[in-house]
Structure 1
Amino acid sequence: MRRRLYLMRHGAVAYVDAAGRPVPPDDVPLTADGRAQADAARAALADVELDRVIASGLPRARETAGLVAPGKELETWPELREITAARLSSIPADELEEAFVHAFRGIVPNEKRFLGGESIDALFDRVLPALERLVADDTWDTALVVAHGGVNRAILSYVLTGERMFLGRFEQAPGCLNVLDVGEPAGADWIVRAVNVSAVDLVHRATRLTQMEEYWAEMVWEGGEPPSHT
């Protein structure tokens, strides 16, 4: 008998202010769209008995988890926080768009630093032990983990390959669910049931942009307008 892990990305937030300038990401709350995405995920999971509910500890993940699983005890695992970037001002202006938009493109080398900040290797160093700790605890049957786009990619990549290989082409829409089953021996028998399931947009009609392209398009940079939302 396999156990079920629902791996979710937090709902939508706004990382830029009204003028298009980046804002500190750690404390941003969900937008109205983000709350609607969490509500839709709660409806999708209405008949699922969750034994454990875990969030990264960042407010956007905790808020999402609270909306998806109201009344459930919420565990905070700080090691599941999103991969951290350096200050965007530290990246040369003529390299910024390429670095930003292509941050999660293709097979990302483990030594690559996300926007000049934390490396993929460092991300794996904290996320994989957390995953192993969760799987090693056999007291639960069904768990919900609310994390982030980079974190979820790391977990999905590891589950599929069995290696510390970061597959950046796994898109993670705001509020999406990934459905994973794990059997025995613990952590060795993974089955990926579904990836990037958006309860509010099942066939992803709303956009063909990646999230990094969406974020770039929201920003106003000195000397020019952001790219179009086409």
Structure 2
Amino acid sequence: MRRRLYLMRHGAVAYFDDDGRPVAPDDVPLTDEGREQAEATRELLQEERIDRVLSSGLPRTAETAALVAPGHEVETWPDLREIMGARFSSIPPAELEEAFVHAFRGVVPNDKRFIGGETIGELFDRVLPALERLVEDETWDTALVVAHGAVNRAILSYALTGERMFLGRFEQAPGCLNVLDVGDEWVVRAVNVAPGDLVHRSTRLTQMEQYWLQYRPHELME
């Protein structure tokens, strides 16, 4: 029998203030939209018996997990935290848009740094052992993991290829759900399911493109 893993991205947050200035990503809470996304996923999964609930421990994942699975203990797994970028000021202005918008384009090499920070290989180094640890524990049948866009891409890529190959084109909308089964091998059943916007009518931009547009108003005023 295969076991079921619901792999979710946290709900929407605001990484930039009203003037387009970046805010500390580790501290941002969910927005009202993000809480609505989490509540929509809770309704979608309300008939499921979930045995374990994990989050990266950052406020946006912990809050999402608590909303999706009320009454469950939310385990904190720091290895599932989001990939870390460098400060924008450390990147030459002429290179920033390329580094930001194209961060997850195509098959991303393991030695590529995310906006000048952590490499994809370093992301795999902490995420895959955590995933293996979860899979090796046979006490659960259905688990919910609330993580982040890059982390989810790493897990989905590994589930499909069995290798440390990062497939950046796996778009991960805020609050989306991925459905994977694991037994002798991985089965990827659904990717980037947004309960409140199933056919993604709201945008044709990637998340990185949308975040860049939120940052640009401040940059253009300088």
TM-score, normalized by the shorter chain, greater than 0.5? yes
Deviation at 1:222, TM superposition (A): 6.0
1:151 corresponds in structure 2 to: 151
- The equivalent residue for 2:105 is 105
**Cα distance in 1 between the residues matched to 2:114 and 2:36:** 29
C-alpha displacement at 1:219, in angstroms?
Answer: 1.1
TM-superposed deviation, 1:220: 3.2
- What is the aligned-residue identity percentage? 75
TM-superposed deviation, 1:178: 0.2
Are the equivalent residues in 2 in contact too, given 1:27–1:59 (CA < 8 A)? yes
How many residue pairs were aligned?
A: 221
CA contact (8 A) 2:21 2:218 kept: no
> Unaligned regions of 5+ residues in structure 1, if any?
226-230
**Does the residue aligned with 1:220 lie in a helix, a strand or coil?**
helix
Supply the AA of the counterpart residue of 1:207.
T
CA distance in 1, matches of 2:205, 2:33: 17
After the TM superposition, list the runs of 4 or more consecutive aligned residues in structure 1 that deviate by more than 4 angstroms: none
Counterpart secondary structure, 1:61: helix
Distance 1:223 1:151 in 2: 28
- Determine the structure 2 residue equivalent to 1:201: 197
Cα distance change of structure 1 residues 116 and 49 upon mapping to structure 2, 3 Å threshold: same
8 Å CA contact 2:19–2:217 kept in 1: the answer is no
> Which residue of structure 2 lines up, in the alignment, with residue 228 of structure 1?
none
**TM-score, normalising length: structure 2:** 0.98
Answering whether residue 128 of structure 2 is matched by residue 128 of structure 1, we say yes
- Ranges in structure 2 where 5+ consecutive residues have no aligned partner: none
Shift of 1:223: 5.9
Aligned to 1:219: 215
What residue is the counterpart of 1:21 in the other structure? 21
Q: State the TM-score, normalizing by the size of structure 1.
A: 0.95
Provide the secondary structure at the position in 2 that maps to 1:153. helix
Distance in 2 of aligned mates of 1:13 and 1:138 = 34
The yes-or-no answer on 1:95 pairing with 2:95 is yes
Structure with the higher fraction of residues in helix conformation? 2
| Cα shift at 1:113 | 0.5
1:55–1:80: 8 Å Cα contact kept in structure 2?
yes
What residue in structure 2 maps to residue 72 of structure 1? Answer: 72
Shift in Å at residue 224 of structure 1?
Answer: 2.4
Q: CA RMSD in A?
A: 0.9
Output the amino acid matched with 1:48. Answer: E
Contact 1:19 1:220 in 2 (8 A): no
For 1:211 and 1:179, the matched residues in 2 are separated by 20
